[in-house]
Amino acid sequence: MQGLSGKAFRNLLRSRHDLKLYASEVSCRLLLNEPKYAWLRRHLSALPLSSPRTLLVPCAAEDGASGYDLVVTAIAADHCAGSAMFLFEGRRGNVLYTGDFRFDVGHAPTLAPLHCGGSVKPIRAAYVDTTLCHPDAAYVPTRADSEAALVAFFEPRFRAGGRLRLALPGAQLGYETLLQSLSLAFGVKVHVTKSQLSRYAGVADVLHALTTEARQTPIHADCCCDLGENCVTVKPSAMWFAHRVAPSLLMERVGDDLYRLCYATHASLAEVRDLVRYLKPQTVRANVRVPGLDVSALVGAPSDEDPVWSSKDEAGQVESSAGSLLRSALRPLPYQVSKLLDDLL
């Protein structure tokens, strides 16, 4: 989680008593489980998923106004435990900020907060996760397919008394469903360190799949204990599989008892395309901008019904008082946040 420990962000929250940091209930729990984020306790406010909440947006102090109402809905984003996208319903229209997300193709129609009266709510601008919108990632398997591949790979070894070590990437959040799937498939808990377990304190659906007792299970996640010779190590990866992954080959051997598993916690190009084409926002903005990469061309050829993809700053925008307040406290402001304020306010 980047930026939360930054001096500018800390000063912003402490500058006024009416500024809050909103997150899902699970995200609030995960943050407060980390000692370095304990200072956020007085500023955090939990938003229940799929439940619209009317929030008062404060205006700049010099304006003398009390602010205005904004309806915000947190929607499960399925990127990691607690991850949420946010639907903002404001004076100038609706804005969807997905943050990091991972939906299977066809999932969008099930998102009730994005619908009203049986129809999709009009979206003025959508800010979408374009992390994997790259030509090198032409095919990205669903997490269910990747988890099934790992289960099938380890099953004969499990029956023979073997052990599995998961070498998780540095950003360890996002692999909760993988750990849960392994626990469910083999009827055992996954061994983690005490610090890993404490990270999920209060998150019951993750905790039930974990244990700190290494001898009680043959499945281990990022532990340094000696597991003997009959152990295989699997490292979940995404972009490492560029140019080489196929539906029939989701795992690849890279060394003695060392394998890579194609596993992505970000939406694939096909999944981003599916969400955008279903919602039909007026404008789509990329959360991750890659210099020289035309995301619109990857998502699909433009047509009269396709939204406008924006990847450049637009001049001539009139800045609102709320936008001015945030910009004055956070400079330089990330591009996508700056544009969101323009779309919403």
Q: Which domains does the chain have, with CATH numbers?
A: 48-136+267-344 (3.60.15), 143-262 (3.40.50.12650)
All residues at 6 or more sequence positions from 101 whose CB lies less than 8 Å from its CB, including other chains: 77, 78, 79, 83, 85, 129, 266, 267
Alpha-carbon distance values, 213 to 126, 176, 190 (Å) = 45, 18, 9
pLDDT greater than 70 at residue 303? no
pLDDT tens-digit readout, 244-262: 666 667 888 988 899 999 9
| Whole-number Å distance between alpha carbons of 103 and 81 | 14
Q: Mean of the per-residue pLDDT values for the chain? A: 83
- Provide the pLDDT for residue 327: 35
Alpha-carbon distance values, 203 to 8, 136, 255, 294, 303 (Å) = 30, 35, 36, 39, 45
| Whole-number Å distance between alpha carbons of 189 and 210 | 5
Most confident of 145-159, 213-227, 241-255: 145-159
What backbone phi and psi angles, to 5 degrees, belong to 134? -135, 140
| 141 CA to centre of own chain | 17
| Whole-number Å distance between alpha carbons of 113 and 39 | 32
Stated pTM of the model = 0.83
pLDDT tens-digit readout, 54-110: 998 877 666 666 778 899 999 999 999 999 999 999 888 999 999 999 999 999 999
